[in-house]
Amino acid sequence: MSSVAKKITPTSFAEAVSNRINGHYNWRVLIVEDEPAIAEGIQNIIAPPTSVIPIHRSSRQRPNPANGNSSPSAQKDQFEVVWAKNPTEALKFVQDSIAQNKPFAMGFFDVLLGSSIDGIELVRQIHQIDPRMYAVFVTAYHDRTVDSINQILGPDKADRWDYMNKPFTDGSILQKARNAVSMWNLKEQKKHQEEQLAEAANLLLQGERANTVAAVGRSVAHEFGNLLMHIIGHAEIALIKSDVTTMQQSLATILKAGDTAASVLKKFKKMHNSDQSIEFTEISINQSIDEAVDLMGHEFKKRMIQVTRPIFHKCVLEANHHSLVQVFMNLFINASHAMPHGGQIDISVTRIMHGELPNSGMVEIRIRDHGPGIPEEILPLVLDAFFTTKGQQGTGLGLGICKEIIQSEHQGEFHIGNHPSKGLEIVIRLPEKQEVSDERS
């Protein structure tokens, strides 16, 4: 076991994160390798002793510190490394780490351990003890395929493992460690913030007075806003520097989600100040829908939900983009919950006219799921605050918030009903942007 403490600069991403989780950033790494030379090589790459030159695992050599080419980023890492020689020892280390509340953020696992179980089965067993841990498999080209690993670990763990082929470079090992550790800490931040938001919602559900709710809301909005600032800022840096297409797409989605969440929390923070108005701009309703669909992409894929667009007219509104994204996100979440085993969501955007009057156009958005619908006897109640059909998993606020945004903020219409064929259908009507006629003589 080796631990190297190095000072982190105030602008480093690690410190920004560590300030969020009670001042603690998890740098713990487990190496499971039956060959001491390889285990020592990995350890010296990510946590090099000050007097030891790391062992190189490929022909691509690291820069010589004597030539002044050492990477300044190396001074920011504080990896705490534990080496396990076999699966039994690894399982014991993981169990002890949970008991001591010092979990590992990630681990490097050799696939062929020369034991009764290989590294993939070991990770499957570790995830039963600690499902949060990230795993990087260090494998030869013909050990296992990506599909076979995914089948053993399960699709729900697809985002918790990665692999790299031998021979590896120092840089690839170090970057895998940094990425996995960063993802572990970011997810813990998200969990921490969700707990804060849940606590605020619980106070609301208990019927606290409006000023108490506003105070809680301002506090949560402030804290969550700070977190989002760090996530967005460093996601932008990663997006600029990355040359991996998949990472760029994922980070772009993080930026959109953070931007929308920041706007929602900004409105929550203004609850106590009624003289501040909602900002309206010229937007494409199709863009707001597309962004909500993109943000739900992972959830739709996980739940095997297909999105169709039977009618999709291009329409422009004077509206608040983030508010509408919030509405559509709420509706898509409800629809996905209504179809836990997969299904379909139909989204239609249609331009309609009210009579023959000029500039009387409306945009009609229909969102229909193919779930069981809502019993007719309780359908009139679903828009009431705090009414929910989800038991303890629901707050009864989602549809009420949607109705408030559409009707009060945007002077639109919000209707809910069961589709004649199957499922629930939401109908939203919003005024289309009016064109100013040229009446110059």
pLDDT at 10: 34
The answer to whether 107 touches 27, Cβ cutoff 8 Å, is: no
The whole-number average pLDDT for the span 80-90 is: 93
- The C-alpha torsion from 115 through 119 and 124 to 126, rounded to 10°, is 80
- DSSP result, 326-346: HHHHHHHHHHHHT-TT-EEEE
pLDDT at 205: 52
pLDDT at 54: 43
Q: Which residue has the higher pLDDT, 92 or 385?
A: 92
Q: Which residue has the higher pLDDT, 220 or 410?
A: 410
Q: Which residue has the higher pLDDT, 217 or 251?
A: 251
pLDDT digits (tens, 9 = 90+) for 248-295: 666 666 666 666 666 656 655 554 444 456 788 999 999 999 988 887
Distance, in Å, from the CA atom of 369 to the CA atom of 223, rounded to the nearest integer, reads 35
Query: With 50 as the cut, is the pLDDT of residue 436 above it?
Result: no
Query: If we measure between CA atoms, which residue out of 295, 294, 304, 375 comes closest to residue 336?
Result: 304
Share of the chain above pLDDT 90, in %: 30
pLDDT at 21: 41
- DSSP result, 8-20: PPTTSHHHHHHTT
pLDDT at 83: 94
The mean-pLDDT minimum among 140-144, 272-276, 323-327 falls in 272-276
Distance, in Å, from the CA atom of 222 to the CA atom of 225, rounded to the nearest integer, reads 5
pLDDT at 202: 65
Specify the DSSP class assigned to residue 385: T
Q: Which residue has the higher pLDDT, 219 or 329?
A: 329
The whole-number average pLDDT for the span 217-230 is: 48
pLDDT at 439: 41
The whole-number average pLDDT for the span 40-45 is: 91
Query: With 90 as the cut, is the pLDDT of residue 112 above it?
Result: no
pLDDT digits (tens, 9 = 90+) for 192-206: 888 888 787 666 655
The answer to whether 127 touches 113, Cβ cutoff 8 Å, is: no
The answer to whether 78 touches 6, Cβ cutoff 8 Å, is: yes
Supply the pTM of this predicted model: 0.42
Please give the mean pLDDT across all residues of the chain: 75
How many Cβ atoms from other residues are within 10 Å of residue 154's Cβ?
A: 11
Query: If we measure between CA atoms, which residue out of 216, 261, 202, 212 comes closest to residue 395?
Result: 202
Helix (H) or strand (E) holding 398: helix 398-404
Give the CA radius of gyration of the chain.
Answer: 26
Distance, in Å, from the CA atom of 206 to the CA atom of 232, rounded to the nearest integer, reads 33
pLDDT at 391: 53
The answer to whether 62 touches 114, Cβ cutoff 8 Å, is: no
- Take residue 397 and report the two structure tokens written for it: 């606020």
The whole-number average pLDDT for the span 401-406 is: 84
Query: If we measure between CA atoms, which residue out of 84, 82, 80 comes closest to residue 34?
Result: 84
The answer to whether 263 touches 283, Cβ cutoff 8 Å, is: no
Q: 28-32 and 106-110 as β-strands: parallel, antiparallel, unpaired? A: parallel
